[in-house]
Chains A and B, each alone.
Chain A
């Protein structure tokens, strides 16, 4: 059976988005009932898609997949680096203003809330250390060296991953969308190699068993049906990416212009113990894929990747940022269902073959 897993985020209900906007703060306690209702409904709808592994839809990740763990830290300021998207909008990171660096919240709290509503395996996505490393200011901090920061960052990441496993996460996915961005801003590859070094330092502190249940997701950055690095070719990214000391790789592919080229690079780079979950749903494409389309994408991938190293996924989360209304919840779940059903169709064909 070809495994299939989501990336993580699903658009929040409009009522929740509007309420967050109205209050101007996604951590306001008044939002709790809305968060609870959104998570319960998301889990129920996720179960209805037939997906064997689900997520909480990242309904509580505020303000987004990148900054949720540091949102509201007192030793930060909102004027961090800007990340420009192809659609023209910019997302801005918080800036660390002093040490020591600690997460304000770990993702296992989201996991626990989702577990109350489902017995299905639940996957938890966490942000990579390399993404958060960009919080440290360019000019440095007087009493908190960059080395100290890196050490704290690695410790916090490892803590978060372990907490998720301890709470019963089926798997943990490290969101590493900045990988492609790193190539974009540093085509020399030095930045990407540094990011991979940093992440491997953190992964080295985990056991083999833990690492066997960890995956890395990378994509060109999907936000409001736009990306930040889709123009970066996979050839510049993937060979280095597979140096990460993890087992599973969740790769956007459906929305790639040259899927076959990408698949060939994946096939060439994939190590024996690794598995590539290829994106078969273009999350930023407003068109709903049919199961047959999905099936064909899987069959296409299977022509390049050994079946026992192949899995399917969505290209990206459907709403990495909490205020993203570009995709409806209905469409997102319909696409997830198409992924599940298409994968089953392909599996039936490949099983017979």
Chain B
């Protein structure tokens, strides 16, 4: 015991509480005892209740089982004991399932424990359907009932009660009913007939699968439709009448063969039986229809009907017979073919139709039929009632009874006599066609016309069977004249001439005139022939021709190309067939002749083209050679120029040598200029741009100019030139310069191609219509074949290869072009090589009105004016050399090398004359001219275009730009110097 006073005090106080606590405890215990007494009383009451309850439960018809909250059995009443086979004392406190085995009757699986479900959920539950109780001894009893929770006064679940009773008898009855319904349902759904139930408004209520199959609608789709909607429009009225009668009680049911419209639009036939169902009160309720699809039957009926019609109206004989060969049916077709009526044949053996020599066929046919075999298209001979034999095609099929046994035969006999005949004709025609085809191949394979004609004649004669034949045909010769020729077959020309085939007789002419065929079995008796005069008769004495056939040969363009004629001393040799054959041959002949002619034409065209190509090749070759010559001719002067230049520049050169050098350079430059002039001229002629400056021209002046030009060449070879001109002056319209160029050319050529010291004669004559100038030499001459080519371009090179005298060989071509521009001709003649040549120019005389030419101003020896000159040219050498020349003539010259400088210089110094190149960089000559003329201060300047472009269009363009004059390069310096020396035209 502690001595601590605080603890002592605490203990004292605490111990004082003990009594109070004990009192409280005693009170509590008393209260507990009282409560216990109450509880015991209540327990006793409950026990009594329980006993009453148990008695009640024992006496009711249902089985009752109760469990505690754990699902352990607390009570079974007598019924439950009886049904489960367990006594309460055996299973009390044991889990429910120890005594209560339930299964699902259908699945045979253990059913859910209803007590467990109640205890879990606290809810009342009914037993599942189809529950069966398996008793202790294995007896199965169908049961039905429910389970419910047992709750304490506080509402807590303290157990469960299950009540159930035997429903085996009822379940059995239900099963039987269900089975019955299922059978009915099966019958309904699987019936071979369609069964449908419809309301009184016609809507389908129910239908089996067959109805769905017949009408093509699903059951659901049918429920949305009435049977009248699906009835064929043609059958609606009858259906409505029948339904009305049904509803009115006139009839109990009706049967109709009617059509329905399927969902797919097809119409089907049905046999529909409809019965009205009434309620117990007698009130109409539903319509039950049985629908049978009889479409096949209907179709079979229609088909049978059609077959009957076919048999009835068939052109073929349709006969049936027994296997003994006894005829059983006989259609009208048989009567038509064989001539017997049905009465005459039915019951008789079929052998009555068979000729004696074909009787052996029947046993074989019958044997095959008995074997079930069918005989197709058996062609044979049968006999008509009148004894005539006919070709028939038999198709015999076995007839079988329902068991499949062969009981007879159906025979279809077709009269094929006409067909056989037609086949023969076709065969014959095929032979002809084949023959013609072979002939055609033979003929058309030949391209030589004469060969073709002979083959045609021979073939046609053979095919026609003629003794002889001839092919008269027309040809056009090279001169376009028509000729009539002929080929022969079977007779020589002499014999044929004796026969005589006058073309213009009535019997012969038509084939040439209107393309008709003439065939005569005996021409001596033919009226057309009889009309002939004796001179035109085919023969005298024994006629060589009695049978006659004439067939025209007509081209694709319908032109008559000729005629095939055939004759034979016998009468009636030529038939329709032989005529057709010959017509066929004639057609083939026309094609072959066309081909042969086309082939010949093609051959000619090829030959012509080859000639042209050879000419082209030659021209091409001459052009190549010309170009080589051109290069050579242009290069030739360069050597002396270069050498002369070196000499003149040499300090050691004497004045004489320098002068000589200048002459060489001048001469060679002039020679090159002439070459280039010729080239330009020939180009212009070729392109048709050479322009003549036609004026009234004095012939003598032209000749003088020409002689003057060619004189150096003539004299260099010491030729003798004689000139003979008309005494009177001859004036005519011509370009004097060009004409002089032509004559000079002829004279120079004569000089070139004539050995030194030769003779050249120029003779001119003038007539009213023309002026003719001839240049004749005694030079190398020309061969006859060279003459036509002498005017061809570049011809010189080839013909004078061995002795070329220089030049480009274009002189004669150029001369011919110039003369022809004047409307004249240039002709070459020669007696042959070494025999000289003559060239004759003819110019038609025409008169043009012209003013007499103004006399040229005399050119002073010294310049009258010192000019201020501007030279603008980007070719520095050209500009500088020209400037030097002009300065040497006393003018003041400024040189620039482009358009900008030119404009600046003009602005600065205002020259009197400006020589402006057209093709300059930056600003070209045209632009310079336009700008210069754009300034009024520059109007007095003489603007001269200097350019390589010398066409009229070029000049026109230069003048339009503001130039006063147009000089074509190279500018002849003397020409320019003379211009500057003279008084300038106003700018």
- Residue numbers of A with Cβ under 8 A of B are 81-84, 90, 133-134, 136-138, 140, 145-147, 149-151, 154, 181-182, 184-187, 190-191, 194-195, 197-198, 201, 204
- Is B20 a contact of A150 with CB atoms below 8 Å? yes
Do A194 and B17 touch (CB < 8 A)? yes
Cross-chain contact B15 with A133 (CB below 8 angstroms): no
- Pair B21/A198 contact, Cβ less than 8 Å: yes
Contact B23 A147 (CB under 8 A): yes
B652 contacts chain A at the CB level, 8 A cutoff: no
Question: How far, in Å, is B4 (CB) from chain A's closest CB?
Answer: 6
User: CA A50 – CA B766 in complex, angstroms?
Assistant: 150
Bound-state CA distance A83–B15 (Å) is 16
Contacts of B4 in A (CB 8 A): 84
A75 to chain B, nearest CB (A): 17
Q: Can you offer 22 A-B residue contacts whose CB atoms are under 8 A? A: A84-B4, A84-B7, A90-B6, A133-B21, A134-B10, A136-B13, A136-B17, A137-B13, A138-B9, A147-B20, A150-B20, A150-B24, A151-B24, A184-B7, A185-B10, A185-B11, A186-B14, A187-B1, A197-B21, A197-B22, A201-B21, A201-B25
Query: Which residues from A are CB-within-8-Å of B8?
Result: 185
Contact partners of A187 in chain B: CB under 8 A: 1
Instruction: Tell whether, in the assembled complex, residue B14 and residue A182 are in contact, meaning their CB atoms are under 8 Å apart.
Output: yes
CB distance from B652 to the nearest CB of A (A): 130
Residue B18 CB within 8 A of the other chain: yes
- Cα distance, A309 to B779, chains bound together (Å): 160
- How far, in Å, is B768 (CB) from chain A's closest CB? 147
Which residues of B are found within 8 Å of A194, using beta-carbon distances?
14-15, 17-18, 21-22
A225–B645 CA distance with the chains assembled, in angstroms: 144
Cβ of A218 to closest chain B Cβ, rounded Å = 16
- The reply to whether A138 and B28 form a contact with Cβ atoms under 8 Å apart is no
User: Is A133 a contact partner of B17 (Cβ separation < 8 A)?
Assistant: yes
Q: How far is the CB of B854 from chain A (nearest CB, A)?
A: 136
Cβ–Cβ < 8 Å partners of A182 in chain B: 14
Give min CB distance, A198 to chain B, whole Å: 5
Interface positions, chain B 26-49, Cβ under 8 Å from A, are: 28
B12 within 8 A of A: yes
Measured CB to CB, the closest approach of chain B to A221, in angstroms, equals 13
Question: How far, in angstroms, from A194 to B24 measured CA to CA in the complex?
Answer: 11
Q: B792-803 interface mask toward A, CB cutoff 8 Å, 1 = contact, 0 = none?
A: 000000000000
Top 10 A-B pairs ranked by shortest CB distance?
Answer: A146-B20, A194-B18, A185-B11, A82-B6, A138-B13, A185-B7, A150-B20, A198-B21, A81-B10, A150-B24
B849 contacts A by Cβ under 8 Å: no
Could you tell me the distance between the alpha carbons of A137 and B12 in the complex, rounded to whole angstroms? Answer: 10
Most chain B CB within 10 A, of A150, A154, A182, A184, is at A150
Indicate if the CB atoms of B14 and A185 lie closer than 8 Å. Answer: yes
Q: Which of B6, B12, B19, B28 contacts A84 (CB 8 A)?
A: B6
Q: Closest CB-CB distance, A89 to chain B, in whole Å?
A: 12
Would you call B2 an interface residue if the criterion is a C-beta within 8 Å of the partner chain's C-beta atoms?
yes
Give the residue of A81, A137, A140 whose beta carbon is less than 8 angstroms from that of B6. Answer: A81
In the bound assembly, the distance between CA atoms of A149 and B21 in angstroms comes to: 10
In-complex Cβ contact of A191 among B6, B14, B20, B22 (8 A): B14
Q: Which residues in A have their C-beta under 8 angstroms from that of B9?
A: 81-82, 138
From the candidates A90, A154, A186, name the one contacting B15 in the complex (CB within 8 A).
A186
B6 touches A149 (CB 8 A): no
Q: Least Cβ distance of A91 to chain B in Å?
A: 10
CB <8 Å contact, A83 and B24: no
Q: Which residues of B contact A195 (CB under 8 A)?
A: 14
- Return B211 CB to nearest CB of chain A, in Å: 68
Closest to B8 in A: A185
Q: How far is the CA of A181 from the CA of B11 in the complex (A)?
A: 10
CB distance from B754 to the nearest CB of A (A): 142
Q: A191, B15: Cβ atoms under 8 Å?
A: yes
The 8 Å CB contact of A150, one of B6, B15, B21, is B21
Q: Which residue of B lies closest to A196 (CB)?
A: B21
- What chain A residues lie within 8 Å of B421 (beta carbons)? none
| Chain B residue at smallest Cβ distance from A187 | B1
Set A81, A84, A154: member contacting B24, Cβ < 8 A: A154
Q: A84-B6, A138-B16, A146-B16 in contact; A186/B24 too (CB < 8 A)?
A: no
A137: chain B residues within 8 A (beta carbon): 13
Nearest chain B CB to A179's CB is how many angstroms away? 12
Q: Which chain A residue lies CB-closest to B32?
A: A204
Residues of B close to A198: CB separation below 8 A: 17, 21, 24
Question: Do residues B17 and A186 form an inter-chain contact, with CB atoms below 8 A?
Answer: no
Please give, as numbers and ranges, the residues of chain B lying within 8 Å of A149 by CB-CB distance.
20
How far is the CB of B598 from the nearest CB of chain A, in Å?
116
Find chain A residues with CB under 8 A from B19 CB: 146
Alpha-carbon distance between A181 and B17 when the two chains are bound, in angstroms? 16
Contact of A83 among B1, B10, B22, B23 (CB under 8 A): B10
Residue pair A201, B18 in contact (C-beta under 8 Å): no
Interchain nearest-CB distance for B11 vs A (Å): 4
Chain B residues within an 8 Å CB radius of A190: 15, 18
Closest to A200 in B: B25
How distant is the Cα of A83 from the Cα of B8 in the complex, in angstroms? 11
| Complex alpha-carbon distance, A67 and B6, angstroms | 18
Inter-chain CA distance A137–B11, complex, in Å, is 12
Closest to A188 in B: B1
Closest to A136 in B: B17
A81 and B2 contact, Cβ closer than 8 Å, known pairs A150-B20, A151-B24, A201-B25: no
| Distance in angstroms between the alpha carbons of A190 and B16 in the assembled complex | 11
- Residues of chain B within 8 A (CB-CB) of A197 are 21-22, 25
* Closest A residue by C-beta to B23: A147
Which chain A residue shows the least CB distance to B25? A197
* Complex alpha-carbon distance, A137 and B17, angstroms: 10
CB distance from A81 to the nearest CB of B (A): 5
B20 contacts across to A, CB distance below 8 A: 145-147, 149-150
CA distance in complex: A244, B2 (Å): 26
Look across to chain A and name the residue whose beta carbon is closest to the beta carbon of B2.
A185
A133 to B12 CA separation, bound complex (whole angstroms):
13
Contact residues in A for B13 (Cβ distance below 8 Å): 81, 134, 136-138
Q: Told that A138-B9, A185-B11 touch, could you supply 14 new A-B pairs with CB distance under 8 A?
A: A81-B6, A81-B9, A81-B10, A81-B13, A145-B20, A146-B17, A147-B24, A150-B21, A185-B2, A185-B8, A185-B10, A191-B14, A191-B15, A197-B21
Bound complex: CA of A82 vs CA of B23, how far in Å? 27
B2 and A184 contacting across the interface, CB-CB below 8 Å: yes
Chain A residues whose C-beta falls within 8 Å of the C-beta of B15 in the assembled complex: 186, 190-191, 194
Contact B11 A138 (CB under 8 A): no
Q: Judging by beta carbons under 8 Å apart, are A191 and B18 in contact?
A: yes
Interface residues of B in 175-197 (CB under 8 A from A): none
Smallest CB–CB gap between A267 and chain B, Å? 29
- Given the complex of chains A and B, what is the CA–CA distance between A151 and B20 in angstroms? 9
* Chain B residues, Cβ within 8 Å of A84: 4, 6-7
Q: Please, which residues of chain A bring their CB within 8 A of the CB of B7? A: 84, 184-185
- Please, which residues of chain A bring their CB within 8 A of the CB of B25? 197, 201
Quick check: B14 and A133 within 8 Å, CB to CB? yes
- CB-CB under 8 A from B23, the residues of chain A are 147, 150
Give chain B residues whose Cβ lies under 8 Å from the Cβ of A154. Answer: 24
**Shortest Cβ distance from residue A194 to the other chain B in the assembled complex, whole angstroms:** 4
Closest A residue, CB atoms, query B12? A138
Please measure, in the bound complex, the distance between the C-alpha atom of A309 and the C-alpha atom of B312, giving whole angstroms.
Answer: 115
Least CB distance from A244 to B in Å reads 14
CA A145 to CA B1, docked complex, whole Å: 29
Enumerate chain A residues within 8 angstroms of B21, measured Cβ to Cβ: 133, 150, 194, 197-198, 201
| Complex CA–CA separation, A150 to B8 (angstroms) | 22
Instruction: Closest B residue to A202 by CB, please name it.
Output: B24
- Evaluate contact between B6 and A201: CB separation under 8 angstroms: no
Most B CB atoms within 10 A — which of A81, A83, A140? A81
**Which residue on chain A has the smallest CB distance to residue B19?**
A146
- A150: chain B residues at CB < 8 Å are 17, 20-21, 23-24
Q: Which of B105-127 contact A (CB under 8 A)?
A: none
CB distance from B23 to the nearest CB of A (A): 6
Kindly state the separation between the CA atoms of A197 and B18 in the bound complex, as whole angstroms: 9
Smallest CB–CB gap between A77 and chain B, Å? 15
Bound state CA distance, A184 and B17, in angstroms?
A: 17
